Amino acid sequence: MPESFVPVPAGSDFPLENLPYAVFSTQNNKVNRICVAIGEHVLDLKAVSQLYPVQVQKSLQAQSLNELMGQDFEAWDVVRTQTQKLLTKGSELDQNIDLKAASIVPQSDIKLHLPAQIGDYTDFYSSIHHATNVGIMFRGPDNALMPNWRHLPVGYHGRASSVVVSGTPIRRPLGQTLPEGAEKPVFGACKLLDFELEMAFFIGGKGNQLGEPIKVDEAWKNVFGFTLMNDWSARDIQKWEYVPLGPFTAKNLGTTISPWVVPTAALKPFLLDNFPQEPEVLPYLRQNVPFNFDINLEVSLKPSDQNESLISKSNFKHLYWTPLQQIAHHTVTGCNLRPGDLMASGTISGETPDSYGSLLELCWRGTKTLELPGGKTRKFLQDYDEVIIRGHCKKNGLRIGFGECVGQVLPAHPVAQ
């Protein structure tokens, strides 16, 4: 890969091989624009859109990524290739002093927004280790996985309106819970607030018409890129409300994503074999191409009065069901997907306790205590705790990062209590 004229510090998440997309504004120009990250700067794609082929210029001038997502994978490759050329030393952009000054912006000077207008949001349950852990807690080891779990990607439809960009505070939810031993529910603030370490991908391409499934080995054409996610969960509210239709208010309080969307093309060097599946799945879910990635994930917890502490290290590769199988199952009924739709992995846990992706597992349903520096402990999140999720791939000296996914817990709303 040629060298970028924009400095890229050693260990940066954002080298020339990455170029994750985001939507930003500045103090001097409050209009949202599309950018890519390079080192500690961004390239304003609207400012340089005239340097791209005509067929993609309009999508680069938009205020969200939806229009670019709605192009096909060939157009994404055109944009990515041209962006890498423009950022290379000696390029047309490098030699245009005025345009370079106008289009290269320090990240310290920008405000980041949701990368797309999210029409629909689906949350899957694709980590076998997480599903097994939760099943053991609530049903015992002999019935940990439900009979359907190894046959289809379990999921539910989430609430798109409460998906927020990293840095947005999350208020502790109010709701109904059933205290231990009680016969009637009570109303109040959630006491068992949790994070969930997840990744998500945005749907791209032309989508599919209502009534037309997407074939599993063609589904890669609909994966625009990946982002980090924290799907906040109110465990005590969920326990009372989820039977028989699944999560509702326990999950609609807020879902945080990173502002950066790493294109699928940037992850190709980190492809892995898909997670082994037994028994063999039905033909419409049989995937012949690898679509699993070696993405290192970590969660840190920062109480309001001390530094952050690393509490979990996991990896995307632990997911039993792939994004392509998720798309194939989601659309097998004929459900139509649209550019900008968000698909989440579900909590990503590994095999060992230090790789569990939620406090529910790390503290094993409150029976264990998470020790933090300075004598502090946690079983679930307290007010003003901050959760920081990070992710990166690393191989042969190449690092592709996802930035951060950050959210702080605020106290419950005082008026409604």
258 and 294 co-located in one domain:
yes
CA nearest to 93, candidates 31, 48, 151:
48
d(CA 230, CA 254): 9
Residues 279 and 350 in one domain: yes
Residue 197 token pair: 């370490």
Residues 56 and 186 in one domain: no
Query: For residue 149, what is the domain's CATH number?
Result: 3.90.850.10
Is 106 in the same domain as 131?
A: no
Q: Are residues 245 and 387 in the same domain?
A: yes
Q: Is 347 annotated as a binding residue?
A: yes
2 in a structural domain: no
Last residue of a domain, one of 80, 97, 113: 113
Contacts of 363 (CB under 8 A, 6+ apart): 369, 370, 378, 379, 380
User: How far is 356 from 28, CA to CA, in rounded Å?
Assistant: 43
Query: Tokens for 341?
Result: 């739709």
Q: What is the pLDDT of residue 262?
A: 98
Q: What is the pLDDT of residue 246?
A: 86
Both tokens of 271, joined, read: 């492809």
The answer on whether 139 is annotated among ligand-binding residues is yes
Q: Are residues 216 and 285 in the same domain?
A: yes
333 marked ligand binding residue = no
d(CA 349, CA 354): 9
Q: Are residues 276 and 229 in the same domain?
A: yes
pLDDT at 416: 58
171 is in an annotated binding site: no
Residues taking part in catalysis:
130
Whether 371 is covered by a domain: the verdict is yes
**Is residue 123 part of an annotated ligand binding site?**
yes
Q: Residue 3 falls within a domain, yes or no? A: no
Residues 108 and 130 grouped into a single domain: no
Judge if 103 and 158 occupy the same domain. no
Count CB-CB contacts under 10 A for residue 144: 17
Is 320 within any annotated ligand binding site?
A: no
Domain count, the chain: 2
Annotated binding residue at 356?
no
**Residue 72 assigned ligand-binding role:** no
**Number of neighbouring beta carbons within 10 Å of residue 414:** 7
Instruction: Say yes or no: 231 and 91 in one domain.
Output: no
Q: Which domain holds residue 281?
A: 121-410
Whether the upstream peptide bond of residue 279 has omega within 30° of 0, thus cis, is yes
φ, ψ for residue 56 (rounded to 5)? Answer: -115, -5
Same domain, 91 and 160: no
Do the domain assignments include residue 405?
Answer: yes
Domain stops at, among 63, 84, 113: 113
Domain annotation covers residue 157? yes
Is residue 184 domain-shared with residue 328, that is, in the same domain?
A: yes
The domain that holds 82 is classified in CATH as: 2.30.30.230
The 10s digit of each residue's pLDDT in 117-173 is: 999 999 999 999 999 999 999 999 999 999 999 999 999 999 999 999 999 999 999
Does 121 count as an annotated binding residue?
no
384 within a domain of the structure (yes/no): yes
pLDDT digits (tens, 9 = 90+) for 273-286: 999 999 999 999 99
**Interatomic CA distance for residues 143 and 221, integer angstroms:** 37
Residue 329 lies in a domain: yes
Tell me which residues of the chain have a pLDDT lower than 70. Answer: 416-417
Instruction: Name the domain boundary from 113, 145, 162.
Output: 113
Please check whether residue 26 lies inside any domain of the structure.
Answer: yes
